[in-house]
Structure 1
Amino acid sequence: MAEGTRGSRKRPEDLRSHRWYGVDDLRAFGHRSRMLQMGFSESDFRGKPVIGIINTWSELSPCHFHFRTRAEEVKRGVWQAGGFPVELPAHPVTEQYMKPTSMLYRNLLAMETEELARSQPCDGLVLLGGCDKTPPGLVMGALSAGLPFIFVPAGPMNSGSWRGKTLGSGSDAWKYHAELRAGTITPAQWKDMEGGMARSFGTCMTAGTAATMMLAVEAMGLTLPGASSIPAADSAHPRMATDSGKRIVEMVWDDETPAKLLSQGSIDNAVAATMAFGGSTNAIIHIIAMARRAGLELDLERFDAISRRVPLIANLRPNGDTYLMADFFFAGGSRAFLNRLSPHLDLSAKTVSGATLGEDIAGADVFNAEIIRPLDRPLQAEGGLAVLKGSLAPRGAVIKTSAADPRLLSHTGPAVVFENYADLKKRLDDPDLDVTADSVLVLRSAGPQGGPGMPEWGMMPIPQKLLKQGVRDMVRLSDARMSGTSYGTCVLHVAPESHVGGPLALVREGDLIRLDVPNRKLDLLVEEAELARRQAAWQAPTRRYARGWTSMYLDQVTQADVGCDLRFLEAGEATPEPDIY
């Protein structure tokens, strides 16, 4: 195996790790000595592909709580294939606990992944992630590192249940919290629901950001076929982890780098899968960032063009009413979904399996056509997301049409403006708030700079007095993001953001805002001369962070329409290998 049989295969002396372990000099003596210090034999690591298993496990990362054992299962596959596995812990970017937002740390994980791969004697990588920001963060870093890699998705948790009702994480938390505020359920019922919402390790089992990004990474060709939809607690999941360990060793010998695998078709496949899945709005930012790291083209216009031609065929919460990710898996999972979507995919795109996407999904059957709909009977004729532009969002904004009230997709209403999230919390439920169901709730200071880190504040709660009148949706608009498990007529990612003086910073109480999704327009109905006066009077907010990661982030982060990456990390010449090892 190690010597290889194909002409293009590497020899042991061609391995990157050979520079650390295979030469006869003082530094290599020290490297080998330290491996022996840890109890390994020279035959374990010398002349074999060294596989870095980048693990985002943490005891504050419930989505990844099984990664401690999954890493061992990956190692088993690496050993079986004749490689040498080494586990490298990385920043556990988790949604549940990080403040003000995990998005502040996606780029830190990407930088850490790149530097782990570059600075250590790794020939290939296995990336363990799944919670919202870990798939893009890991993939962005691995793309920049340029080594062969394969992604092992965490998989969704078991379905929730409470008093005979199926619960979907996130989506039903928002739903029932609104009912609590409206007075239709009791505080005791709300408390009782806590234990039924999340019933195993794994990511949210709704079609939220985690499920979306795992699917997008598979559609890009960076996981084994079908990997993204396997439930975390299913016995197929550890088998997939072991198979991934086996496969990465072969990829190293064959020098299957991301530059050789990824194409424009790979990126378009990820977008098409996201649209047909009714995926999270967050995916727009993440897929753009990943594409730019790979040096491939993707902008908001291309997203919208693909969305207009790809039907939404996954009937899952929060777009549908009933089904969750376990149902999706047993209906055929990601392979069957992508096979059904195949007329809209580039089937010639290469994948980490060693085959093409078309070959990976061939023959995959759908077992429940209510969950994975036929193309001629979709949940929605277009994809789940739309891109808007206009005087309020000259560089773009996004909306999840599949989770919005259709009657609000063409709407004009007066603005109710909140300066920041603290202002929103303070005034939203004030009985004297001048708001009706026709109003447009506006939140600013929630973008990449303003949050900082673009928190998931975009699904603003409905004012309590409207909830008690029976209102369950209204137009909400911000430069924030929202959870992929969220729903409602929420316009997000307004760019440029208010914090840097975008038009959102100029909106005043009572200004009319026109949302026109069919024509992809978002406009502030204020005279240009008046906007010019407001712009001239606008003053930039005082900077609140002077040191550390947040200061670096604020100096370098880009706007939402181009992926919120750090400028110095975007695609460019690869970091050169050191001359001395």
Structure 2
Amino acid sequence: MEEKKLRSQEWFGRKGKDGFIYRAWMKNQGFPNHLFEGKPVIGICNTFSELTPCNAHFRDLADAVKRGVWEAGGFPLEFPVMSLGECTIKPTAMLFRNLASMDVEESIRANPLDGVILMCGCDKTTPSLVMGAASVNIPTMVLSGGPMLAGRFKGKKIGTSDLWRFVEEFKKGELSQEEFIAAESAMARSIGHCAPMGTASTMAAMVESLGLALPDNATIPAADSRRKAMAHMAGINIVEMVRSDRKMSDILTRKSFENAIMVNAALGGSTNFIIHLLAIAGRMGIELSIEDFDRFSADIPLIANVQPSGEHFVEDLFYAGGLPAVMKEISGKLHLDTLTVNGKTIGENIQKAVCYDRELIGTLEKPFKPESGIAVLKGNLCPNGAVLKPSACTPSLLQHRGQAVVFEDIDDYKSRIDDPNLDVTADSVLVLKNVGPKGYPGMPEVGNMQIPFRLLSQGVKDMVRISDGRMSGTGYGTVVLHISPEAAIGGNLALVQNGDWIHLDVQNRSLTLEVGDEELAERRLGFKPLDLGYARGYANMFIQHVTQAHEGVDFDFLKGGSGPEVKRDSH
């Protein structure tokens, strides 16, 4: 069989003036001529940034990747792309996910790369890099940064999910300012992303279950030397992928997306998973709907006993057998014939997986919780869907009817939530509007609203909360999210008033505003779209082109498979 011509040779293999220019300036870095004579050029797409603490160790990790690429006979070239620090970037990292994906796509497309390793850790860096690479479709694999080690505070393990508990204790005076500072210093005690099964670890598990990463990518702690060993092996693997011409389109099939949904259910993964997987599917031109997340996770219980749905941390999950062991427990449900980056099937990769701790990894017969996955709700309040994570909810609230306490936007919420005169009871339904894709803009993680202080001091720990926003993957509670269509574009959420009755029925997958159609039509006459004041720049483009939550919050002009190669030269 004739060997496929390397893409990089369209640059480095040319004769005459063009070849001279492409090679000459690269040589100022000390690269000898033979590297340009047919070695696979491997791009290391690095989201290192000191403003993205989860990814701040990526310089060392990239060096380990390069060692593997050199060993396998490749030519590694590292390049940066926009990095999204979840805790530091304003107004929300989600606003810039699509921008980062465009950066990745065009950086890959415009440069002489035969294959790419995507280095990502913090929440939005993983989907943005995968989305961008999917739109180019060359041999690609993902290397995650790994979870941080669990923190220690007052003799107990802690992680990001404990933040919400600490905030409540601080507000009630049970935690002093000094203890609060001590807790924050103890929580993030090593390199890596959040220690629970938050969005970052959910994304790492997503790429492993999709087949885009090597086995154990999701769970090896960032501080563990085996993370660097995996990076080295990833460097070797990507060169082999190029030589075999194993592209993303060979791996990302409809079956692999179904696998990812089932694995996410078994892990009790983040609700953000839905938006990101929908966006990736859209880039690949694969039909995936919000209803698929309910359908394919419906009979998958919680297998992994990891926070926030369980008790332990991702570090502990790795010691117990890692994601392969979790996947093996639900192997009867998975499509085991799907291809992965190492040339083996999912079934082959998990065949020898072993569970070493039944406290961490349950079985289908003896799960940690019978309810897991994602519940997709429909009703007049969310005709295009809303989502809820049953494993993170209070069981008694999964069937609930209460009166709305409405916050028109995030500023209204912040100014009134702890007002002692707020007309609210434990049975109320907290409603937050205008925090959706267009309304914020960027759909921030504010959906898990804090319990009003007056109720918190009375011992109330959970309430039904609904919004068109998202919540952190480390969050928990009976929280309905991603209401679509959002309030900012005139969805029925915009019409909810204080005192309206709302009925949540998770078993029957419904969310109903008990207001008649005629009354809603009357209210709609007074609806005025928000003017957010973004008349220029990227934020304006985002508002004009972003899709709704049930469509993945991607740009409408980026869907539908990979774009064309750029053919013209500038020289």
* Aligned length in residues: 570
Q: Confirm whether residue 550 of structure 1 aligns to residue 539 of structure 2.
A: yes
Could you tell me which of 504, 528, 532 is aligned with 1:515?
504
1:156 equivalent in structure 2? 147
In structure 1, runs of 5+ residues without a counterpart are 1-6
Could you tell me which of 259, 284, 305 is aligned with 2:295?
305
Q: Deviations over 1:487-534 (max 9, x none)?
A: 111100000000000000000010001000000000100011000111
Amino acid at match of 1:425: K
Conserved? CA contact 2:484–2:550, under 8 Å: yes
2:491 equivalent in structure 1? 502
1:367 equivalent in structure 2? 356
Could you tell me which of 447, 456, 477 is aligned with 2:436?
447
SS in 1 for 2:264: helix
Could you tell me which of 176, 184, 187 is aligned with 2:174?
184
Output the CA distance in 1 between the equivalents of 2:191 and 2:562.
39
SS in 2 for 1:229: coil
CA RMSD of aligned residues (A): 1.1
Amino acid at match of 2:396: R
Q: Confirm whether residue 73 of structure 1 aligns to residue 59 of structure 2.
A: no
**Aligned-residue offset at 1:253:** 1.1
Q: Confirm whether residue 258 of structure 1 aligns to residue 248 of structure 2.
A: yes
SS in 2 for 1:491: strand
Could you tell me which of 248, 262, 266 is aligned with 2:238?
248
Output the CA distance in 1 between the equivalents of 2:3 and 2:278.
33
Q: Deviations over 1:363-390 (max 9, x none)?
A: 1000011211011011222423211010
Conserved? CA contact 1:17–1:49, under 8 Å: yes
**Aligned-residue offset at 1:309:** 1.7
1:103 equivalent in structure 2? 94
SS in 2 for 1:212: helix
Q: Confirm whether residue 220 of structure 1 aligns to residue 215 of structure 2.
A: no
SS in 2 for 1:387: strand
Conserved? CA contact 1:285–1:561, under 8 Å: yes
2:471 equivalent in structure 1? 482
Output the CA distance in 2 between the equivalents of 1:334 and 1:64.
21
SS in 2 for 1:151: strand
**Aligned-residue offset at 1:543:** 3.6
Conserved? CA contact 2:109–2:565, under 8 Å: no
Output the CA distance in 1 between the equivalents of 2:529 and 2:191.
43
Output the CA distance in 1 between the equivalents of 2:125 and 2:536.
25
Could you tell me which of 378, 384, 392 is aligned with 2:381?
392
Sort the Cα spacing of 1:416 and 1:107 in 2 relative to 1 into closer, same or farther, 3 A. Answer: same
Could you tell me which of 260, 263, 267 is aligned with 1:277?
267
Amino acid at match of 2:250: K
Amino acid at match of 2:380: S
Amino acid at match of 1:549: Y
SS in 1 for 2:186: helix
SS in 2 for 1:166: strand
Conserved? CA contact 1:9–1:255, under 8 Å: no
**Aligned-residue offset at 1:464:** 0.3
Conserved? CA contact 2:122–2:200, under 8 Å: yes
Could you tell me which of 165, 189, 194 is aligned with 2:156?
165
Amino acid at match of 2:266: A
**Aligned-residue offset at 1:9:** 4.3
1:4 equivalent in structure 2? none
Amino acid at match of 1:194: E
Conserved? CA contact 2:262–2:373, under 8 Å: no
Amino acid at match of 1:397: A
Query: Which ranges of 4 or more aligned residues in structure 1 deviate by more than 3 Å?
Result: none
SS in 2 for 1:85: strand
1:54 equivalent in structure 2? 45
**Aligned-residue offset at 1:180:** 1.4
Could you tell me which of 431, 439, 452 is aligned with 1:463?
452
SS in 1 for 2:525: helix
Conserved? CA contact 1:386–1:517, under 8 Å: yes
Could you tell me which of 222, 236, 243 is aligned with 1:232?
222
Q: Confirm whether residue 197 of structure 1 aligns to residue 182 of structure 2.
A: no
Identity, in percent, stands at 49
Q: Deviations over 1:362-421 (max 9, x none)?
A: 110000112110110112224232110101000000011111111001000000000111
Output the CA distance in 2 between the equivalents of 1:307 and 1:330.
25
Query: What are the within-5 Å matches in structure 2 for residues 314-329 of structure 1?
Result: 314-320=304-310, 322-329=311-318
In structure 2, runs of 5+ residues without a counterpart are none
**Aligned-residue offset at 1:8:** 6.3
Output the CA distance in 2 between the equivalents of 1:161 and 1:572.
46
With the length of structure 1 as denominator, give the TM-score of the two structures.
Answer: 0.97
With the length of structure 2 as denominator, give the TM-score of the two structures.
Answer: 0.98
Could you tell me which of 509, 514, 534 is aligned with 1:525?
514
Sort the Cα spacing of 1:468 and 1:137 in 2 relative to 1 into closer, same or farther, 3 A. Answer: same
Q: Confirm whether residue 333 of structure 1 aligns to residue 322 of structure 2.
A: yes
**Aligned-residue offset at 1:311:** 1.5
2:393 equivalent in structure 1? 404
Query: What are the within-5 Å matches in structure 2 for residues 415-454 of structure 1?
Result: 415-454=404-443
2:133 equivalent in structure 1? 142
